Structure 1
């Protein structure tokens, strides 16, 4: 674990992974307020999988591990709603949460250590091949992933977790795993199933 911080949360029925892109539509005043605050501070916000509650309405109960979202682009859609494209950055562990008067959940978080630089091991080579095949079939993959790192265990694991048709609970399980090799072992089991 590294340093602690206070981070506003945007709980979702989806999991944002490090390095992954996610599109959001923002219309609730608590999240619009949050984005104004993030813009003033030049900071991101946290995205956590919802364990209890919903995306709209009362404050939801977030999972204990989430990912910092950094805004890459925004505009207003034809429906007048704010649309964001965010990218996953650092992972964090939620230590405690509080709810502001406007319903925004704010968490005290500890930042997870960055993934160690580990080469893709021979027992995980199949996953590197699977990822290459997936990317070959995605139109525009060379723009979305301009610098592929097929020899980097963490990068291969995160991209497979992003691109494979996994349930949110499975992605959350991978997000909570600190060791890239264990993450790849879990992915091997999921691919076998």
Structure 2
């Protein structure tokens, strides 16, 4: 890991994975400010699993690993709350946190190295088939999946981690794994 940075954190009772989309409803002032600041600066914010605390109210204790969220779309919901659609981008490790006066948690983070652009190994080949079957069960055309993606070890791993019925703790363990093939081994053991 390299490149230390600071990143505002949005602790949630979910794990955002690289490439995954997530819908958020924003109503607390600290998070409305965060969205405004990120929109003005064209930057993202970090989403970490809550280890202790709640999503609203007092600042929650976030997990030491998270994913940068980039805002893709926003709207006002029928309830008048800000509705966001974000997508996970880079993984990071939280080195330490501080809480601003408004209750926003800010992390000093180290960005994780980008995933290797490795092809699926033979022992993980079945995982691409499982992913295609999941897409078909969801009513999506598996044949439309880009062939360069369905052979990419990192992409297959992230999509399986997103779509398999895993607990948040299991997803967090997958998120913390740096090696794409070890990540697939972990997912394979969870599928057993």
Same fold per superposition (TM over 0.5): yes
> Which residue number corresponds to residue 104 of structure 1?
104
Is 1:172 the counterpart of 2:159? The answer is no
1:110 and 1:100 mapped to 2: Cα distance?
Answer: 20
Structure 1 portions without partners, runs of 5+: none
1:147 and 1:55 mapped to 2: Cα distance?
Answer: 36
Q: How far did 1:140 drift?
A: 4.3
> Which residue number corresponds to residue 51 of structure 2?
51
> Which residue number corresponds to residue 158 of structure 2?
158
> 1:141 and 1:80, CA in 2 relative to 1: closer, same or farther beyond 3 A?
farther
Alignment of 1:8-87 (within 5 A): 8-87=8-87
**CA offset digits 1:101-138 (Å, max 9, x no partner):** 11000001111000001110111111111001111122
> 1:27 and 1:171, CA in 2 relative to 1: closer, same or farther beyond 3 A?
same
Q: How far did 1:2 drift?
A: 2.6
Structure 2 portions without partners, runs of 5+: none
Q: How far did 1:146 drift?
A: 5.6
Is 1:147 the counterpart of 2:146? The answer is yes
Alignment coverage as a number of residue pairs: 190
1:139 and 1:37 mapped to 2: Cα distance?
Answer: 38
SS of the residue corresponding to residue 2 of structure 2 reads coil
1:153 and 1:94 mapped to 2: Cα distance?
Answer: 25
> Which residue number corresponds to residue 118 of structure 1?
118
Q: Comparing both structures, which one devotes a greater share of its residues to strand?
A: 2
